[in-house]
Amino acid sequence: MRWLSWAVMRTRSIHWVPVDLVIDHSVQVDVARSSNALQSNMELEFTRNRERFGFLKWGSTAFHNMLVVPPGSGIVHQVNLEYLGRVVFNTDGIMYPDSVVGTDSHTTMIDGLGVAGWGVGGIEAEATMLGQPMSMVLPGVVGFKLTGKLRNGVTATDLVLTVTQMLRKHGVVGKFVEFHGEGMGKLSLADRATIANMSPEYGATMGFFPVDHVTLDYLRLTGRSDETVSMIEAYLRANNMFVDYNEPQLERVYSSYLALDLDEVEPCISGPKRPHDRVTLKDMKSDWHACLDNKVGFKGFAVPKEQQDKVVKFDFNGQPAELKHGSVVIAAITSCTNTSNPSVMLGAALVAKKACELGLEVKPWVKTSLAPGSGVVTKYLLKSGLQEYFNKQGFHLVGYGCTTCIGNSGELHESVSAAITENDVVAAAVLSGNRNFEGRVHPLTRANYLASPPLVVAYALAGTVDIDFEKEPIGVGKDGKEVFFRDIWPTTEEIAEVVQSSVLPDMFKSTYEAITKGNPMWNELPVPEASLYSWDSNSTYIHEPPYFKDMTMSPPGPHAVKNAYCLLNFGDSITTDHISPAGSIHRDSPAAKYLLERGVDRKDFNSYGSRRGNDEVMARGTFANIRIVNKFLGGEVGPKTIHVPTGEKLSVFDAATKYKSEGHDTIILAGAEYGSGSSRDWAAKGPMLLGVKAVIAKSFERIHRSNLVGMGIIPMCFKAGEDADSLGLTGHERYTINLPTDVSEIRPGQDVTITTDDDKSFTCILRFDTEVELAYYNHGGILPYVIRNMAGAQN
């Protein structure tokens, strides 16, 4: 049921829960730098996902209150912002604020429109759709005051990367952030949505922007009627929920406070491995060389000094080509974060135009792509006359979807791949996305940087991240003249002029009038008429999930965890991309072996994301990220672990299977921010299927902790100041968690003693945060709990 990860659910009454499902995240950049890339990639998308799309189309007819936006329409969060978001509902004369939960963590983008919304795990969402109320601990609210105005040439992306770093440092996991202050009036709605979108990267439940005149202007721009906008304003004013900066502002009281003068924001990017590792553009060259020197880690590659300047020459389609450490091989304008923002999209197109006029071209071996979040972007790029310059620089339209940001970057040219792998080149990707964790963007790009769309074009033109844009030329243009960054960078006024003349309300109206009508490939999909889905046991895409097999009507109660082995021993910042990768299926992985045994050719492996409807594939893909670091392996990188009783080095899936066959439970040890990144339910479903009973970490990211609870896995935190290393835990011990066997004796957040077979004893905090979560645990997970409740209500 992972397909629901791109649904948004709106509460209109207590009796039923409507679901808006936008089919997204499945298009891949197989064809790039070609005028037929859009059509070719969509055809491949439907070929690969035909069975899964058919399942979704069946669901749209089998369930009530479910709106389906077909594939190829755009990214869910941009569609939500431009079309689905209501701000205020008017149902039969009863008015109330819009609210939404979505099963993608970047649902928070809608907070920029003044709609309270956030991401939940797919597991929790599935239960919510079936009528289960959501429970949460009342969050703290962080007030973030904005003053001043962005300087000329500084983009919304620069602002959001700055805010992300500040909030991650402040610590806002599980909290709400509300932005306020006179600087709000200087930010467009799209700028606000960019900041709100990145809430998962700074860890907050949501980053909220109250409704004001900027919000109302955006609603009119995107085709909402004058009558609707007037109703929204009147309702919010009547309930003291409208912010008017022309009136005296009340003093706000928050749990904690932050402030930022927008004038202090500098051009920047983030990387090479985490979204909150911001680097100012002026420091990028020195930071890159430090990364080459540093030991392997979030800011290091440990490349020996004598190898740092090596040049790898190769043949690219008959042309001489070369790569160095830091060479850009992927440059992608993609993801919901920035493609909803006309100022950065048109700014990027202006960079491409200025470069063309000065005689600069992107090297042909750089895989460039343009993947907007909605069809509106294409309309204003065409209206402005700037799409042709994107095309001239290789940024052809490749699809409407997340593409590179979700790992659907497609293959690199075989000559580029060979040059990287055979010479151990630290190649780079630059993308306008929100995630750059290791192994996510592409298996061969070890350095991945988040940047504004204009900077993506600039780095593509430079061909390397090893450059000081202030001092070094980007390249040589017409007549042998050096061209510098300042020569191609548009002013804020230039961008504003193009936005004003090219982004028009009719574009939004015409795009969304036909949004649910689909396309010929979608419309031709056959739909079974039965209200129950007919499972095909031979399918490698859609498989009947095992969660309800052998389920009894009586809850099983708390499960004992006694003498469990440690399956994996992790450090900090293990993301859901590490736990459940979404990219290509590696040819030597357990998932590949499973597919080959069922007659699937390597060329048809597809991605984990496309096969997430098959638990057999996804269980084998759990902890299969090729860049994962497990302390058991002593510095070796890769998806393997040690089977403690025998000392064998096995794939994680094979080790887990061996433990299960021997009748042993397993646990996982981890550091801080365990489960950061995407709200990927398979990052909890997979470990449950592998037999993991508990995760003991320094801290959890909000959604992943909730997902673990939903699958019946016990989340526990070390006491403050302690971790596995300080307690002398190597992972070779056997662990007993001394929880009461009667759920009535367990309390949210209580201390629990854990003992090991070598006589160690330490205390952890039980991270069941509410009584409702304890009920889920008693039932073996949230889905069995809901099913038992539904069955009981019918009897």
Residue 738: CATH number of its domain: 3.20.19.10
Q: What is the pLDDT of residue 336?
A: 87
- At 44, which CATH number? 3.30.499.10
Banded pLDDT at 2 (limits 50, 70, 90): very low
Q: What is the pLDDT of residue 700?
A: 95
Domain match, 72 and 128 both: yes
> 373: burial class by Cβ within 10 Å (0-12, 13-18, 19+)?
buried
Residue 369, helix vs strand vs coil: strand
Banded pLDDT at 795 (limits 50, 70, 90): low
Domain boundary, last residue among 231, 263, 295: 263
In sequence order, the 6+-apart residues with CB closer than 8 A to the CB of 306 are none
Domain match, 84 and 142 both: no
Domain assignment of residue 778, yes or no? yes
Domain assignment of residue 540, yes or no? no
Domain assignment of residue 598, yes or no? yes
Q: What is the pLDDT of residue 793?
A: 66
309 with 324: CB under 8 angstroms?
yes
Banded pLDDT at 10 (limits 50, 70, 90): low
Q: What is the pLDDT of residue 6?
A: 46
Domain match, 417 and 319 both: yes
Q: How many CB atoms sit inside 10 A of residue 544's CB? A: 15
Q: What is the pLDDT of residue 1?
A: 24
Q: With 90 as the cut, is the pLDDT of residue 123 above it?
A: no
Domain match, 417 and 397 both: yes
Domain match, 307 and 165 both: no
Domain assignment of residue 144, yes or no? yes
Residue 601 belongs to what domain range?
581-621
Q: What is the pLDDT of residue 9?
A: 54
Give tens-digit pLDDT for 485-539. 999 999 999 999 999 999 999 999 999 988 877 788 999 998 888 888 888 889 9
Q: What is the mean pLDDT of residues 370-375?
A: 95
Q: What is the pLDDT of residue 13?
A: 38
Domain match, 100 and 23 both: yes
Total residues found in the chain within this entry: 795
- Report H helices in 546-651: 576-579, 590-597, 615-621
Q: With 90 as the cut, is the pLDDT of residue 641 above it?
A: yes
Residue 367, helix vs strand vs coil: strand
- What share of the chain in percent tops pLDDT 70? 97
Give tens-digit pLDDT for 667-698. 999 999 999 887 788 999 999 999 999 999 99
Domain assignment of residue 53, yes or no? yes
Q: How far apart are CA 474 and CA 464, in angstroms?
A: 9
Q: With 70 as the cut, is the pLDDT of residue 270 above it?
A: yes
- Report H helices in 467-587: 485-488, 492-502, 505-513, 520-523, 576-579
498 with 344: CB under 8 angstroms?
no
Average pLDDT, the chain: 92
- Give the dihedral of Cα atoms 7, 8, 14, 15; nearest 10 deg: -30
H or E segment and range at residue 208? strand 206-208
Q: How far apart are CA 6 and CA 75, in angstroms?
A: 9
Q: How is residue 213 written in tokens?
A: 């005149």
Q: With 50 as the cut, is the pLDDT of residue 578 above it?
A: yes
Q: What is the pLDDT of residue 161?
A: 95
The total domain count for the chain is: 5
